[in-house]
Amino acid sequence: MPTEVLMPALSPTMEEGTLAKWLVKEGDTVASGDIMAEIETDKATMEFEAVDEGVIGKILVAEGTEGVRVNTPIAVLLEEGESADDLSAPAPAAAQESDASAAAPAQAATKPAAPEAPTPDSSPDWPEGTPMKRMTVREALNSAMAEEMRRDDTVFVMGEEVAEYQGAYKITQNLLEEFGAKRVIDTPITEHGFAGIGVGASWGGLRPIVEFMTWNFGMQAIDQIINSAAKTLYMSGGQMGSPIVFRGPNGAAARVGAQHSQDYAAWYAHIPGLKVAQPWSAADAKGLLKSAIRDPNPVIFLENEILYGKSFDVPDLEDFTIPFGKARIARSGEDVTIVSFGIGMTYAMEAAEKLAEDGISAEVVDLRSLRPLDHDTVIASVMKTNRCVTVEEGWPVASIGNHISATLMQKAFDYLDAPVINCTGKDVPMPYAANLEKLALTSTAEVIEAVHQVTYR
């Protein structure tokens, strides 16, 4: 049977083109790979090669013709033994409609907000009456890793100075002694490379904990985190998850300048496929890190240098975890909801304390994890207090606070008695000078001022 040669699509966006020049004529024999014509697309003039072998029976579109639609027959190819005389005028096939256009856009509009209070999971994180012990965030993170490494020998930790130096911030202290150099691995200073090796190792059946000395250096590795770790499960149709934890100190420390002082909460919370935790208390740091190590997905674990030395009560249990996506009411209140996470909680709690002295009762919600984010707890609290202030150290544009404000507008609009205020870091690179650095961060005073604004008192 004669084969129709169709106008080819020669670029991802081409819908029509110009048949610039024929390089074969009727009666010519062509083999696979022979150049048959030159076609002008929106991008360039390209050579069009034969796929099948045969004899050019008829040329249907003359050279120089513009606006030839993709898939229009442009020539007829004859096989051995066929003659051009056998050809009846072929009816040009109608341009093929894309099947995709038939498919309705999925998940079009979400339903209008139903003003019903959600029922957040408010179960206690550990049983009533559990004995507690005082522990720094540093000790909590260290014990979380040690416990998980004892539990599962596929867990290992790699990063700069994690082994012999005992960790630049001592989070991996004593791990080398207990687990040996096979499982506690000093890397060269090469974040992009070792982040990629970590992701590959997670595909090979291990559970890496990749420590970035700070998340600022993790920016060198962001392609591996997003393109390799976060997206591969989806791109592989569910075959290849990346059970890996990337962790390290995040955000401003003290007097280290712009390149070492950035909060990545909003950056990573943006990415589907990642889970993101940013704990404040030592108990949450421990429970969330243990969950992160056990999680079959890539987890971004954002710690904070200033919090490392702070002490909190931690349940004295052999094993406990804190789930992702469950916020904690750190302080109950009636008049306003302050939503924060990580070191922002320091300002939120201080502000709540001082506001109480002025007779304003603030409820403080510690998000703990940013993806998944516990919207229900925030919404339920705002439905009760009707006012909301968010607190974070990151920059204001496209911040976590922005996301929460938008969610409250959609889901609790009628319950808001004032616009939501986002307390954030200022929209500037971090200055070095002590006075300017202080101004660039948010503060307890700013949170108090914001609460006065939303409560009109």
Partner 1 sequence: MAARKTTRKPNVSGDELQKYYREMLLIRRFEEKAGQLYGMGLIGGFCHLYIGQEAVVVGLEAAAKEGDKRITTYRDHGHMLACGMDPNGVMAELTGREGGYSRGKGGSMHMFSRDKDFYGGHGIVGANVPLGAGLAFADKYKGNDNVTFTYFGDGAANQGQVYETFNMSALWTLPVVFVIENNQYAMGTSQQRSTSSPDIYHRGAAFGIPGEAVDGMDVLAVKAAGEKAVAHCRSGKGPYILEVMTYRYRGHSMSDPAKYRTREEVQKMRDEKDAIEHVRDLILQGKHATEDALKAIDKEIKETVNDAAEFAKTSPEPAIEELWTDIYVDA
Catalytic residues: 191, 260
Q: What residue has token string 């209140």?
A: 333
Rounded distance between C-alpha atoms, residue 317 and residue 131, angstroms: 8
Site string for partner 1, 313-352 (x = CB under 8 A): -----------x----------------------------
For the bound state, the minimum distance from the C-beta of residue 331 to partner 1, rounded and expressed in Å, comes to 29
Q: What is the footprint of partner 1 within residues 273-302 (CB under 8 A)?
A: 273, 275, 291, 294-297
Q: What is the footprint of partner 1 within residues 235-274 (CB under 8 A)?
A: 235-241, 243, 272-273
Nearer to partner 1, 142 or 224 (CB): 224
- In degrees, rounded to 5, the angle at the alpha carbon of residue 447 between the alpha carbons of residues 445 and 453 is 105
Nearer to partner 1, 14 or 258 (CB): 14
Q: What is the footprint of partner 1 within residues 76-95 (CB under 8 A)?
A: none
**Between the CA atoms of 33, 36, 41 and 45, what dihedral angle is there, to the nearest 10 degrees?**
90
Q: What residue has token string 């616009």?
A: 419
For the bound state, the minimum distance from the C-beta of residue 308 to partner 1, rounded and expressed in Å, comes to 27
For the bound state, the minimum distance from the C-beta of residue 357 to partner 1, rounded and expressed in Å, comes to 42
Nearest to 381 by CA among 367, 366, 355, 363: 363
Q: Quick one: which of 127, 131, 188, 359 contacts partner 1 (CB under 8 A)?
A: 188
Nearer to partner 1, 103 or 109 (CB): 103
Written as one string, the DSSP assignment of 129-196 is: T--EEEEEHHHHHHHHHHHHHHH-TTEEEEETTSSTT--TTSTTTTHHHHH-TTTEEE--S-HHHHHH
For the bound state, the minimum distance from the C-beta of residue 204 to partner 1, rounded and expressed in Å, comes to 2
Q: What is the footprint of partner 1 within residues 381-440 (CB under 8 A)?
A: none
Nearby residues of 46 by Cβ (< 8 Å), 6 or more positions away? 10, 38, 39, 40
- From the list 44-52, 171-179, 415-423, 443-451, the region that binds partner 1 by CB under 8 A is 44-52
Pairing of strands 45-49, 35-40: antiparallel
- From the list 119-127, 199-207, 355-363, 408-416, the region that binds partner 1 by CB under 8 A is 199-207
Rounded distance between C-alpha atoms, residue 302 and residue 443, angstroms: 20
Q: What is the footprint of partner 1 within residues 86-145 (CB under 8 A)?
A: 96, 98-100, 103-104, 106-107
Tell me how many residues contact partner 1 (CB under 8 A). Answer: 73
With contact defined as beta carbons under 8 Å apart, do 333 and 364 qualify? yes
With contact defined as beta carbons under 8 Å apart, do 20 and 61 qualify? no
